[in-house]
Amino acid sequence: MPDTNQSGTAELIIDGRRYQLPILEGVEGDRAIDIRGLLKDTGYTVFDTGYKNSASCSSTITYLDGNKGLLLYRGYAIEDLAARCLFIEVAYLLLHNKLPNREELESFRTLLEQHALIHEDMIHFFDKFPPNASPMSILSVMVNSLHNFYPEMSDDPLKNIDMTASRLISKIRTIAAFSYKKSIGQPLVYPRNDLSYCGNFLNMMFDTPVRPYIVLPEVVAVLNKLLILHADHEQNCSTSAVRLVGSAGGNLYSSISAGINALWGPLHGGANEAVIQMLEAIHADNNDYKKYIAKAKDRNDPFRLSGFGHRVYKTFDPRGTIIKEACDEILSLLNVRDPLLEIALNLEEIVLNDPFFVDRNLYPNIDFYSGIIYRALGIPTNMFTVMFALGRLPGWIAQWREMREDPETKIYRPRQIYIGSPPRKFVPLGERT
């Protein structure tokens, strides 16, 4: 387990008996009451729906402070990484706990180039999905199937982890781009070693035999930034799913597939898609955004503003601030006139200045503008969550590796409070009424 310091004890009194529970403190002052011995010592468990108050692990990877709007990867501020790094640099950082030097970065880049292709037999898998299949379902299946083509992890999951991590990070963009090409009936575009990681993905998505795609460095830069902002975010739903499957001994491929499926949920990775759907609904309703502001304030109306607020952040999402600037820049560069952008700007101005929303800490989050950027780049709405997965993959791998290397890891096994029937006498079929 990564180092934690005991900074005192908490006293728990049950039925007149006193129990001393250690208080653990992280490097940034975050504190937790250690209840690992609670059931054994007292016979009691804790009840925490959704684990809102429970730390499932200690970690060296990501730190966030929702009250200060602070996000760190391996100790580095997200603002610095997004402004000054390539996505593959951040991926290396998450995997190795250090930013790469030039030699290490070049070696990592070479590994990604070597593993960009997928096995030709896997290409036939795409033909078996119906044309309207969700790209996320395809991504999950294809990632899980990689284990059958590269089974070397079975004996020692950590022995070839660097090779496996590089393979996954490289191949997932190929799988994602191929799934899109298949869905629109266009020929597949294979990866090229002369293009960058993000440039390669864009080319595989949009190049055609009749209209070659021009890889603009400014577009590559904004995609790098988007992927960096999504690269990790502590113990969220999908990351917890990766750790949970991995805790049972699941291989990296199956664990990542579980993370993809968790991310697929509309309350998690589907949030940026929900923003676009909301903006489109307002646009179809004569751009009457004030009507939807009123609906959001109405307690009896189920409508909620998508892209505002966050379960963890109680102030600005630092990623939201970065991505808004990126959105303004790329729309100006590409000369995009997106009617949804004006609606988004109007919503943001009202929300940031209305006490109703300010008092509830409903600030724009990362999902609010990311969908608009993806639209500007030509990425369809049903691929938004796939883009999220591409960015989050290095974080998932780092979390899985940390979990497997921690000698204190136990198979995840939450407890429950049973509220069903008490013991009942069995009644034979012929006697039941």
* Domains of the chain listed by start with CATH number: 5-70 (2.20.28.60), 78-423 (1.10.580.10)
> pTM for the complete prediction?
0.92
What pLDDT does 217 receive?
96
More confident call, 369 vs 189: 189
Largest CA distance in the chain: 80
AA identity, residue 409: T
pLDDT tens digits for range 207-221: 999 999 999 999 999
Average pLDDT over residues 195-224: 97
- The percent of residues in the chain predicted with pLDDT above 70, rounded, is 98
Q: What is the pLDDT of residues 305-329, one digit of tens each?
A: 998 888 788 778 899 889 989 988 9
Report the pLDDT value the prediction gives residue 155, as an integer from 0 to 100. Answer: 67
The residue-averaged pLDDT of 414-422 equals 93
pLDDT of residue 1: 47
Q: What is the pLDDT of residue 210?
A: 96
**How far is residue 331's CA from residue 21's CA, in Å, rounded to a whole number?**
54
**DSSP assignment string, 89-143:** HHHHHHHHSS---HHHHHHHHHHHHHT-S--HHHHGGGGGS-TT--HHHHHHHHH
Calculate ∠ Cα 108-242-101, nearest 5°.
Answer: 20
> Is residue 85's pLDDT more than 90?
yes
pLDDT at 328: 86
pLDDT band, residue 395 (cuts 50/70/90): very high
- At 317 the pLDDT is 85
The pLDDT tens digits for 141-183 are 999 999 999 876 666 778 788 899 999 999 999 999 999 999 8
pLDDT digits (tens, 9 = 90+) for 55-68: 999 999 999 998 88
119 is catalytic: no
Please check whether residue 217 is in contact with residue 202, taking contact to mean a CB–CB distance below 8 angstroms: no
- pLDDT bin (cut points 50, 70, 90) of residue 201 is very high
343-354: per-residue pLDDT in tens? 988 898 998 899
Written in H, E and C, the secondary structure of 205-242 is HHCCCCCCCCCCHHHHHHHHHHHHHCCCCCCCHHHHHH
Which pLDDT belongs to residue 361? 84
Per-residue pLDDT averaged across 407-414, rounded?
Answer: 92
Compare 6 and 99 and report the one with higher pLDDT.
99
Would you state the pLDDT for residue 309? Answer: 82
Residue 399's pLDDT band, with cuts at 50, 70 and 90, is very high
Please, what is the average pLDDT of the chain? Answer: 92
| 124 is an active site residue | no
Give the pLDDT score at 191: 97
Question: Of the listed 115, 230, 310, 317, which one is catalytic?
Answer: 310
